[in-house]
Structure 1
């Protein structure tokens, strides 16, 4: 698509005039998006520069893809083509944040880790924990990327009071998602900043861990954990592909982890309460398990997201195993009924579609859904991938 662009040099000069000589360039191999190579990369630093960049792109008919850290560029349906990558790395920073204030404005290109580090100095945090390494505020919000803390605090979108953005025609706007104004899922353009609600940083954290082997065990443990009314911040499950399953003395390969947060004495008491309720194999630890807050899939895998009522999650996982004919790694929020599962990226698109049809048939009667959020290009270009709204 990009090789036929007319006037490449004048376009590049125009982008340099907008963004500066060091912040507009021709794209290279590192700027591939879903198998498509862009022509240009532009990194505006201000709202006006972002407006001018997108207005220029609209006038020239250029297809633009925003990029933060790039950790989720392969999520969802691949673009039909791409002419320009708009890098949000210079749209960063924290402002309008008063000491102990309940909100702050954060630039979309700001890494979430940097935000949390800055807020921690004031005893605060943003109640999000996206698993993607290097995730930025804008990238996280664009796909509503949630981690374990979604159990107590909801998704990242739920932490936002309003956003500022520029649409693909180069028109700036802001929205709180109310009274007909677009929500984050409806914004078609580039998020510039977000006003977010802040929370106190907890003084202590404890994880209650229980080894598990089957989805049914997970179901019973989650029910018991919720019945304790201990106000957990997260209830996560990790069910990897069993190694050595069936061997005498083989240990349960998976685990359920319950996170408790708050004051030191209070958290210790609630953790002991939950551990006692979950049985003799439960242990309490001040450190998270190694798999905590990480995706079970890699870039070469087919990543599924299953969302269903908590009471039916085990049925959905069993249905996926039956359709696949093997154990499937599963990880995610067992306490909210949203998990990610992994299929091999070596499967054919037809085989993946067959598995999806079988699982969706089971989920249909239970009000659940299963979508593909990421897959290698031979698969993603030949199946229905998750749309933007599927991620919210």
Structure 2
């Protein structure tokens, strides 16, 4: 496996935390940890990689306490495998990124989530404990096996979205939820960006409690899916109420096949913005764009043409607290496009954190914003 176009000189597959610690303690070159590799494009390519750690060898579910709705699992555990095990106890980890084979460590590193983020939150909300190996081989732990734990620094939030640049995540502890007994959805055709914005506003201001509100957008029109997961009576009542609220819609038992998927081809961007700016963001997209948006959370994944002026797009959506991060790009563009966009005022703090955790700049060098 190459790492966004960079071929590692050596690959190791550790199977214990101690092995990871020994490797980092004994290695002086640059290093990058990956799981199944489904999201290696979700940041800038590394400046170099002497050693790649494949974390798939750490694949054990260490502890599951059904009564406490908590599970401890190593970084190489695949989310799909964990969900199957949890389902035997009528439970789930309420994260649903669509990447097939995604591991827990990779999900944390990329801060990956899916449609359920509207109701259950993201990685930062569900991750209650983490064990990491620092650049010098020291093992650090934060959080615990209870949902409320405030002792020490919250390393879980720091490592979420860090793409392995501050240390290697080896174990994760998660808050779980019961599996919903019933589900149903309302599907609505969306004529234009203005109507998409009106539907988003109506749903956000209502007393309905959908699990997800997802919009598929083809550049001029789209389709909205409002998903409800609860007891059957609640699903029925809320579905009917959503149709009455929006003035249109069709009830379905299962969301359409595109639900929760990310677009492919061209340059794929992760857009973030204030939710009420949805119509402005859709209008700002260049011709030929398409994708999906979690309409009530202000997150979208869109494919834009390879010749898109990313700087201009970022400038246009910036007044809406908007950002556009590259998560996929053609090979010929990957090394010469700006993956992250403008450096924020907090960049100085980011550099100090990097210097504290990885003073030698050996871990995933150059992957983060500003070349960190």
Question: Does residue 300 of structure 2 align to residue 339 of structure 1?
Answer: yes
Quote the residue 2:176 is aligned against. Answer: 198
Deviations 1:216-256 (Å, cap 9, x if unpaired)? 121111222233311111111001256xxxxxxxxxx6201
The alignment partner of 1:371 has SS state of strand
Supply the distance in 2 between the matched residues of 1:332 and 1:102 (Cα, whole angstroms): 30
Rg larger in 1 or in 2? 1
The alignment partner of 1:128 has SS state of coil
Quote the residue 1:36 is aligned against. Answer: 6
Following superposition, the deviation at residue 104 of structure 1 comes to: 1.0
114, 127, 130: which one pairs with 1:163?
130
Tell whether the 8 Å contact from 1:97 to 1:104 is kept in structure 2 after alignment.
yes
318, 330, 350: which one pairs with 1:364?
318
Tell whether the 8 Å contact from 2:196 to 2:278 is kept in structure 1 after alignment.
no
Quote the residue 1:214 is aligned against. Answer: 192
- Paired residues in the alignment total 333
Tell whether the 8 Å contact from 2:228 to 2:238 is kept in structure 1 after alignment.
yes
The alignment partner of 1:317 has SS state of helix
Following superposition, the deviation at residue 277 of structure 1 comes to: 1.9
Supply the distance in 2 between the matched residues of 1:150 and 1:156 (Cα, whole angstroms): 9
Supply the distance in 2 between the matched residues of 1:364 and 1:33 (Cα, whole angstroms): 30
1:236-315 pair list within 5 angstroms: 236-241=214-219, 254-280=222-248, 282-298=249-265, 301-315=266-280
Moved more, 125-134 or 364-373: 364-373
Aligned-CA RMSD value: 2.0
Supply the distance in 1 between the matched residues of 2:176 and 2:318 (Cα, whole angstroms): 37
Quote the residue 2:346 is aligned against. Answer: none
89, 94, 99: which one pairs with 1:127?
94
Quote the residue 1:330 is aligned against. Answer: 291
Following superposition, the deviation at residue 341 of structure 1 comes to: 1.3
Question: Does residue 330 of structure 2 align to residue 376 of structure 1?
Answer: yes
Following superposition, the deviation at residue 389 of structure 1 comes to: 7.2
The alignment partner of 2:21 has SS state of helix
Supply the distance in 2 between the matched residues of 1:169 and 1:125 (Cα, whole angstroms): 35
Deviations 1:98-149 (Å, cap 9, x if unpaired)? 2332211011101101111111110111110012111111101101001001
The alignment partner of 1:339 has SS state of strand
1:11-26 pair list within 5 angstroms: none
Tell whether the 8 Å contact from 1:143 to 1:388 is kept in structure 2 after alignment.
no
Quote the residue 1:224 is aligned against. Answer: 202
Quote the residue 1:184 is aligned against. Answer: 159
Q: Scaled by the length of structure 2, what TM-score is found?
A: 0.84
Deviations 1:66-122 (Å, cap 9, x if unpaired)? 111111112211011222221111111222212332211011101101111111110
The alignment partner of 2:226 has SS state of strand
Supply the distance in 1 between the matched residues of 2:154 and 2:65 (Cα, whole angstroms): 28
Quote the residue 2:350 is aligned against. Answer: none
Residue ranges of structure 2 left out of the alignment (5+ in a row): 144-149, 341-366
Supply the distance in 2 between the matched residues of 1:54 and 1:383 (Cα, whole angstroms): 31
The alignment partner of 2:251 has SS state of strand
Deviations 1:16-60 (Å, cap 9, x if unpaired)? xxxxxxxxxxxxxxx2112222222211111111111222223xx
Moved more, 121-130 or 271-280: 271-280
Quote the residue 1:55 is aligned against. Answer: 25
Question: Does residue 57 of structure 2 align to residue 90 of structure 1?
Answer: yes
Distance 1:203 1:360, change over 3 A: same
Question: Does residue 53 of structure 2 align to residue 99 of structure 1?
Answer: no
Supply the distance in 1 between the matched residues of 2:296 and 2:154 (Cα, whole angstroms): 32
Tell whether the 8 Å contact from 1:213 to 1:239 is kept in structure 2 after alignment.
no
Supply the distance in 2 between the matched residues of 1:179 and 1:101 (Cα, whole angstroms): 22
Following superposition, the deviation at residue 172 of structure 1 comes to: 1.1
Tell whether the 8 Å contact from 1:148 to 1:333 is kept in structure 2 after alignment.
yes
Tell whether the 8 Å contact from 2:288 to 2:304 is kept in structure 1 after alignment.
no
Supply the distance in 1 between the matched residues of 2:2 and 2:204 (Cα, whole angstroms): 44
The alignment partner of 1:131 has SS state of coil
Deviations 1:139-164 (Å, cap 9, x if unpaired)? 01101001001111111121011100
Tell whether the 8 Å contact from 2:185 to 2:251 is kept in structure 1 after alignment.
yes
The alignment partner of 1:33 has SS state of coil
